[in-house]
């Protein structure tokens, strides 16, 4: 009788039936293009940047709502309001969070204290053959510059500070480190009668024969509100991308009005700069207890053009356009 056959017979018949069913079922991709899994994947660099820009645009919209709620115009917002009704007493920093997500590793380069800076994707510079770093206003705090030279194969670091005579670090006694006692300004002032030699960024890049800077680091003790507009406005007007990939800056809000700070910040945004990290200068705050938190470090990534932080070599990508 059939049911009295060897068990291997039934195993063989079961395998035949399963194979037949498998062949009759239409083949399907494990993830359809409109499936949930496909929609949430941000594995590629362009996708991560696009998602980060969407988040940042929402923050811009939220900022406008916040100004209307507590203003109702920028002219009515206080940089550091007194601790009295109406509460909460939001400071200027509450309106400008660093909400753009760095698409690479976020890493502090240099000392944990003064001199170190938060960066995005410095690993992408480790083997970049034409890597260029500009640093202004170090005043002997050069742990950032020293670590960049140590960790990369080709990065050339160009340091400028009219208050110093050198980098101030033995680690920067290197053919890839170049120091000049000059300042960064919104005009060129380096004639024989100028006590402190100052140059615009454009002039220095022309002297050095550089067309692009990977990381621009500046600490101008408040002059950033005059210098940065001079750098950015020509590129905004022309639609060309800025000639640098990241901006690491200490912002000094001494005696600034909110409406003026907002105009300056929106200029950075119009040029394609997006903040991904901030750090209030608590050392300064400790020295000035009871006074406003005027100083904060900000790190920006440039999302326009095809710099190394937003596009892989051989590709071209501009976010949000």
Rg for the chain, CA atoms, rounded:
27
Residues linked to residue 189 through DSSP beta bridges, in sequence order: 198
pLDDT of residue 84: 81
Is the pLDDT at 14 greater than 80, yes or no?
Answer: no
Per-residue pLDDT, averaged over 28-32, amounts to: 48
Is the pLDDT at 38 greater than 90, yes or no?
Answer: no
* Inside any domain, residue 295: yes
At 156, is the pLDDT very low, low, confident or very high (cuts 50, 70, 90)? very high
Is the pLDDT at 294 greater than 70, yes or no?
Answer: yes
Q: What is the pLDDT of residues 258-277, one digit of tens each?
A: 999 999 999 999 999 999 99
Instruction: Tell me the average pLDDT of the chain.
Output: 90
Q: Measured between alpha carbons, how far apart are the two ends of the chain, in Å?
A: 76
Q: Could you please report the per-residue DSSP string of 143-193?
A: HHHHHHHHH-SS-EEEEE-TT-SS---GGG-STTEEEE--EE-SS-B-STT
* Inside any domain, residue 45: no
Rounded distance, CA 21 to CA 153, Å? 59
Number of C-beta neighbours around residue 314 at 10 A: 6
pLDDT of residue 6: 61
pLDDT of residue 295: 97
As a whole-number percent, the residues of the chain with pLDDT over 70 amount to: 85
Domains held by the chain: number: 1
Is the pLDDT at 86 greater than 80, yes or no?
Answer: no
* Inside any domain, residue 36: no
* Inside any domain, residue 240: yes
* Inside any domain, residue 79: no
Pick from 56-65, 92-101, 181-190, 281-290: least confident: 281-290
Rounded distance, CA 103 to CA 44, Å? 9
Structural domain harbouring 167: 103-302
* Inside any domain, residue 235: yes
* Inside any domain, residue 70: no
Q: What is the pLDDT of residues 15-27, one digit of tens each?
A: 667 666 665 555 4
Per-residue pLDDT, averaged over 74-80, amounts to: 96
* Inside any domain, residue 236: yes
Quick check: helix, strand or coil at residue 118? strand
Listed residue (220, 212, 227, 233) closest to 134, CA to CA: 212
Per-residue pLDDT, averaged over 65-82, amounts to: 95
Quick check: helix, strand or coil at residue 287? helix
pLDDT of residue 30: 47
Q: What is the CATH number of the domain that holds 173?
A: 3.40.50.150
């Amino acid at each position: 009788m059939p049911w009295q056959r060897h068990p291997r017979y039934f195993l063989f018949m079961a395998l035949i039936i399963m194979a037949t069913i498998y062949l009759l079922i239409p083949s399907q991709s494990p993830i359809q293009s409109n499936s949930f899994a496909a929609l949430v994947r941000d594995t590629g660099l362009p996708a991560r940047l696009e998602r980060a820009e969407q988040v940042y645009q929402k923050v811009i919209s939220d900022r406008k709502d916040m100004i209307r709620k507590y203003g109702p115009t920028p002219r009515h917002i206080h940089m550091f309001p007194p601790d009295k009704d109406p509460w909460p007493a939001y400071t200027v920093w509450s309106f400008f969070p660093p909400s753009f997500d760095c698409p690479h590793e976020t890493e502090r380069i240099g000392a944990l204290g003064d001199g170190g800076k938060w960066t995005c994707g410095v690993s992408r510079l480790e083997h970049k053959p034409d890597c260029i770093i500009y640093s202004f206003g170090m005043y002997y705090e050069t742990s950032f510059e020293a670590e960049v030279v140590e960790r990369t194969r080709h990065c050339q670091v160009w340091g400028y500070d009219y208050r110093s005579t050198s980098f101030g670090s033995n680690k920067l006694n290197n053919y890839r480190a170049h120091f000049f006692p000059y300042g960064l300004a919104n005009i060129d002032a380096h004639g024989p009668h100028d006590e402190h030699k100052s140059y615009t960024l454009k002039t220095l890049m022309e002297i050095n024969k550089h067309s692009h800077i990977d990381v621009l680091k500046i600490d101008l003790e408040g002059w950033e509100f005059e210098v940065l507009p001079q750098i950015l406005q020509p590129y905004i007007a022309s639609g060309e991308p800025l000639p640098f990939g990241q901006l690491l800056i200490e912002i000094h809000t001494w005696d600034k009005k909110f409406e003026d700070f907002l105009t300056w910040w929106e200029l950075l945004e119009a040029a394609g700069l997006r903040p991904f990290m901030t750090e209030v200068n608590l050392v300064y705050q400790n020295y000035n207890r009871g006074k406003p938190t005027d100083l904060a470090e900000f790190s920006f990534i440039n999302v326009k053009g095809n710099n190394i932080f937003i596009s892989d070599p051989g590709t071209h990508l501009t976010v949000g356009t």
